[in-house]
Copies of this chain bind each other. A is one copy, B any other.
Amino acid sequence: MRIDDNFYMKLAIDEAWKYQLLTYPNPAVGCVVVNNGEPLAIEAHKSAGESHAEVNALKAAYLKKNPNSPLKAISDPFKIHEFLKENHNGFFRDCTVYVTLEPCAHIGKTPSCATLLCELKPSKVIIAHEDMNKEASGGAQRLKEAQIEVSIGCMKKEAYELLYPFIKWCEGNFTFFKMAQTLNGTIDGGRISSNQAQAYVHTLRDKLDLLAIGGNTVRTDQPTLDARYVAGRAPNVLIYSRNKVFDKKIPLFYIPNREVIISDNIEDIKQYKLVMIEGGYSLLNELQDVVDYFIMIVSPTMKSGFNGVEGLDINFDIIHENYIGSDKIIYLKKKTSF
A interface residues with partner B (beta carbon < 8 Å): 1, 3, 11, 15, 35-43, 64, 181-186, 281, 284, 296, 300-305, 307-318, 321, 323, 326, 328, 330, 332, 335
Q: Which residues of B contact A313 (CB under 8 A)?
A: 301-304
How far is A301 from B314 in the complex, measured between Cα atoms in Å? 6
Asked if residues B307 and A184 are in contact (CB atoms below 8 Å), the reply is yes
Q: Which residues of B contact A315 (CB under 8 A)?
A: 300-301
How far is A185 from B309 in the complex, measured between Cα atoms in Å? 13
If A1-B42, A1-B43, A3-B41 are given as contacts, then 13 extra A-B residue pairs at C-beta distance below 8 Å, sorted by A number, are A3-B40, A184-B184, A184-B307, A184-B312, A185-B307, A284-B302, A301-B314, A302-B316, A304-B309, A304-B311, A307-B307, A317-B326, A321-B321
Q: Which residues of B contact A35 (CB under 8 A)?
A: 37
Asked if residues B296 and A183 are in contact (CB atoms below 8 Å), the reply is yes
Q: How far is the CB of A284 from the nearest CB of chain B, in Å?
A: 8
Q: Which residues of B contact A300 (CB under 8 A)?
A: 315-318, 332, 335
How far is A44 from B101 in the complex, measured between Cα atoms in Å? 32
Q: Which residues of B contact A316 (CB under 8 A)?
A: 183, 300-302
Instruction: Pick the most buried of A35, A181, A186, A315: most chain B CB atoms within 10 A of its CB.
Output: A315
Closest residue on chain B to residue A18 by CB atoms: B1
Contact of A312 among B304, B326, B328 (CB under 8 A): B304
Q: How far is the CB of A235 from the nearest CB of chain B, in Å?
A: 26
How far is A186 from B308 in the complex, measured between Cα atoms in Å? 9
Asked if residues A308 and B302 are in contact (CB atoms below 8 Å), the reply is yes
Q: How far is the CB of A185 from the nearest CB of chain B, in Å?
A: 3
Asked if residues B281 and A3 are in contact (CB atoms below 8 Å), the reply is no
Q: Which residues of B contact A40 (CB under 8 A)?
A: 3, 37
Supposing A3-B39, A41-B3 touch, asked if A184 and B183 sit within 8 A by C-beta, the answer is no
Instruction: Pick the most buried of A184, A284, A323, A328: most chain B CB atoms within 10 A of its CB.
Output: A184
Q: Which residues of B contact A284 (CB under 8 A)?
A: 302
Closest residue on chain B to residue A184 by CB atoms: B185
Closest residue on chain B to residue A285 by CB atoms: B302
How far is A137 from B64 in the complex, measured between Cα atoms in Å? 36
Q: How far is the CB of A206 from the nearest CB of chain B, in Å?
A: 24
How far is A287 from B133 in the complex, measured between Cα atoms in Å? 56
Q: Which residues of B contact A296 (CB under 8 A)?
A: 183
